[in-house]
Amino acid sequence: MSAFEELMAFQRQTEALAQVAGRLGWDQETVMPEGSAAQRAEEIGALEGVLHARRTDPRIAGWLEAAQAPDAVGEAQLRLIRRSYARTMKVPAKLAEEIAATMSLAQGVWAECRSREDVAGFLPTLRKVVDLKRAEGAALAAGGDPYDALVDDYEPGMTGAAIAAMFDAMRPRLVALREKVLGAEAPKGVVGVFPQEAQLALSRELATVFGYDWSRGRIDLAVHPFSSGSGHDVRITTRVNETDPFNCFYSTIHEVGHAAYEQGIDAGYALTPIGQGVSMGVHESQSRSYENQLGRSSAFTGWLFGRMREVFGDFGIADADAFYKAVNRVHPGYIRTEADEVHYNLHVMMRFDLERALIRGELQVEDLEAAWNDRFRADFGVAVDRPSNGMLQDVHWSCGLFGYFPTYTLGNVYAGCLVKALRADIPGLDGQMERGDVSAATGWLRERVQRHGGLYEPRDVVRRACGFEPSEGPLLDYLEAKFGAIYGV
């Protein structure tokens, strides 16, 4: 075999092992016995040690030096292998193993402390997580900004400064829109009891409508919904609140957006570096466009209203227009994942500032709860009533996912651009969605974005799909037009 072929064969085994590691994580969050946490942490740590050894294998340097890519796809493969190799070589193996094992245990500690509203019980674990991620960031940054180094893991090429500039540009228009909307009369919300099994049945139907391939996936329940896997095994989770069916339905649609991206990648790229989503920002653009611009549109909610009436009977909403307004009701709630489109990015901006300060050492773990509560009151005008509605609500920090949060808003920005472009290309889209058919939109996204996997750099994927440079403008225009119309402001 040529050097390129040898490298790709070696890489395929590494990618397969990484998928196994991901499956262990899925199992831990869904069906693992409660008493298995310590053993699972050891298993994940051991597997991470194997993966780190493979990713730093000295043969990779020789292969990369000698390899000649046969085509543009091969060049992309080499680009990502070089990036991964250079990055992994900076992190000591012992640190990588300790991070993997600690994060596995930390998730269970977080879940237990969240259920007890016990910040003090979580702080020692969080302190260890932050210390480890600071060490990793410092190793990766090699004298640069450690937070930038962590962000680069989720959104290659992005920096904290660039994110801060984007957020500064967005915040005034978001705050102005929020003030106008909250000053207007709020529409009626959905009230009632919606049984779990009926919700799950309808959520499966919604997953099918949005193109989820059940032959390569499944849906389970989790505290924090997520999507896991790629290629021929892509699993999703959702959650159920019997008084809030939208939590289940839109969590499902959101995770299907992630899963459809992985299922939509060119099958020939499977178990290679480009055989997965190119970045978390682009990934989030799929889930947020599925969930919001498509799933919460007046056209699609008209269809969903009819299905909910068939499944649940009369639930106190008079017509499709009132239902559309209920689905898009704006309120300053505590929970990011349940936030409306107006407030959502403000939640992300707050977390970005806090975690950036944590990694830089400008904020200490012991002061995080007070900093969170003060910032939340300042940004949302509401006092945090309990930790599960405050700093314990998200799983991300217990998993060590520092640098991940800003990609949620970056995904919204990309989604604004993509849906602007797809609506220009599909003028009859609303008529189709009124019948519960979103295939034209999801097909457009599959063709323009999903099938490419990691073939192009993140911003290049969006630019090529849209025909223009991505910016926050289309998202802000969309939000102002949508909620201005709903609230008459």
Known catalytic residue at 255 = yes
Taking a C-beta distance cutoff of 8 angstroms, is the pair 106, 125 a contact? yes
Q: Which of 97, 255, 338, 472 is catalytic?
A: 255
With tokens 């989790």, the residue in question is 222
Which sequence positions are flagged as catalytic? 255
